[in-house]
Structures are given as C-alpha cells and as structure tokens.
Amino acid sequence: MKKFTNEPMYEIISFLEKELKNKNEILFEVLNPDIKDDIYAGEKYILHNVEFIYRSYKSWCDLAEILFCKMLIERLNTNTVILKYKKLDKIDSFHNDINDEKNEKYGKESTFFRINKNEEPAFLYSYINALKNVNIEEKKSILNLGINKADEFEVIRKLLDEETLKNISFTGIDYSLSAIEFAKKRFPSDNFKFLAHDINKLNELNLKKADLIISIGTLQSSGLNFKLLFMDLIQNYLEAKGSIILGFPNCRWINGEIIYGAKAPNYSYSEQSILYKDVYFCKKYLQQKKYRVTLTGKNYLFLTATSIK
C-alpha cells in the first residue's frame, strides 16, 4: 500500500493512473483531511517530523471522479486516512442500454429508472433555484417533456403548499409507458396528467399553452431535432409571458456514480463543445424574444428564461 506524504499532485495522479491500468482497486494512505480546519490544498503540514502536503476530502473525491473511480474510506486514523479507489465499470451505464420493442431504455426496469437526481445536491439545489427564479408559486399550467417518473414534479410538490399546488395544472409527457404508469400512481390527483407519447409528435395531442415548460436532459436526445423542437416549443406551446427551464446534462452516470463532463462521440474524455453550442443557441434565441436568461448549475446546466415583455 502506497503512503503519500509530500509528493505533488502531479506525481500522485501519474502513480494512480499507472496502477489502475492493471488493478480494479487501489489502497493508499494520506494525511487526514480533518487534522486542521484553516488550511489550503498544497500547504505543508508537519506530523511527527514528517512533512505532508494537505488535501481535502473534496480534492480526493474529485480525483476519484476524474479517474472514473468510486472513493471509499477503508480506515480512518487520527492523523491519516486510508482511501480506496474502486474502478467503475464503464459498461454499467444506462447510456449503453438497448432501446427497442422489448427493452425500454428509460422504463421502470431500466438502469436509468434507478437514478434519483433529487438526491444529488448539485442538481437539486440548482433546480430549486431555477423554480424560484420563475416564481413557481405563480404558475397555473406546467408542461414537462421527458417526465419519466416525475422527480421534477416531486420537488415542486415539496416547495409549494397544498392549496397552491392543487390550483396548478401539471402535464408530463414521456415515451416510456412503464415510467408514465409509475408517475400516474405517484401523482393520482386530478390536476396531474401524464401521457405516453413521442415528443416529436406533440401536435397530435392538442395541448394547451403552458406558462412554464420544463425539460431536463431530454431535448438533446438522439432522435430529436433539437433546434426545431426547441423553437416549436417557444412558438406554439409556451404562453406569451411564460417561462422555461431547460436542464442540459453535463455529466454521465456510471455504476450509480455521477461523473462530471458531457461526453461527445469520438472522444475518450469530456468534450463540451456541442453542449455549449446548444446552450448558446437557446440563450440567444430567447433573448431575441425578450426573455431574461440565466445559466446556472454544474452537472446539469440550467437555462432559466422569464419573459420581460
């Protein structure tokens, strides 16, 4: 087992990358991040005449994520801690699941269905702020595209009092029938409506315009013409003074772990050009339509737009 004392991070990364090429997990000992409060990463700390370089738990978690590992605490000592980096199985991801007549890639029995973004603080905090930014308590009709099991509606239910909630009309649309059936049972009230339908064919549903449209991680899906669908939503499904919240994935899910950074085809590492290109297109289009636009978030970039007409 390797013990790191005053080695620079450059050497640590090089060592771990080399070890993980041939091992599925690795143990190493470092200075206990709890040993002192007012200290910065890279500062020296002398312990029993041995010089250590300090790093926080966040630094070690970030490194594990970069190396596609899960970080575990193997043993916690008074002055040091033994960490385990366990390599993630990149095949175990909903991104690799098959979607055909027999398999619902986003259905109730899928890997994707196990994901609960509401338990990821980086997602939840940004989403709550987006809802507050559009004055969610004033909305009367909400349309969610790619609703799946209705996690986004669950956050709204927690934010609002019962009387305000029942005066809002909720509509959720998703292609997965089993996910829609689950959402119906989760929200049985009359003001919640869930439809299993192809988002490419919204014109078949005769939907009324909503004063808030939400879509998290859906509009960029393969099989959808992103720009045309987005403009169609603004022109034909959003009220004149309505608002929109779009969540652009800037992450991947592997072995239940959320890994930062959008993955583009033909790149072995995170490459975010397409992501920012799409975000900028939406921002520019909405500003031309007299919307105030904000961009927030980390693993999901939240574009929030409110009309200023």
pLDDT tens, position by position, for the chain (309 residues)? 999 999 999 999 999 999 999 999 999 999 999 999 999 999 999 999 999 999 999 999 999 999 999 999 999 999 999 999 999 987 656 766 665 555 688 899 888 999 999 999 999 999 999 999 999 999 999 999 999 999 999 999 999 999 999 999 999 999 999 999 999 999 999 999 999 999 999 999 999 999 999 999 999 887 889 999 999 999 999 999 999 999 999 999 999 899 999 887 787 788 999 999 999 999 999 999 999 999 999 999 999 999 997
Same domain, 211 and 62: no
Same domain, 15 and 109: no
The crossing angle, in degrees rounded to 10, of helices 151-159 and 121-133 is 60
What DSSP designation does 35 have?
G
Tally of domains in the chain: 2
Integer CA distances (angstroms), 230 to 69, 125, 205, in order? 36, 25, 17
Distance CA 228, CA 214 (A): 17
User: Which phi and psi angles does 176 have, rounded to 5°?
Assistant: -80, 115
Same domain, 132 and 256: yes
Same domain, 9 and 107: no
Domain that holds residue 11: 2-87
Same domain, 41 and 129: no
pTM equals 0.93
Residue type, 298: K
Same domain, 133 and 281: yes
Out of 30, 60, 87, a domain closes at: 87
DSSP H helices in 222-272: 226-236
Same domain, 29 and 126: no
Same domain, 203 and 271: yes
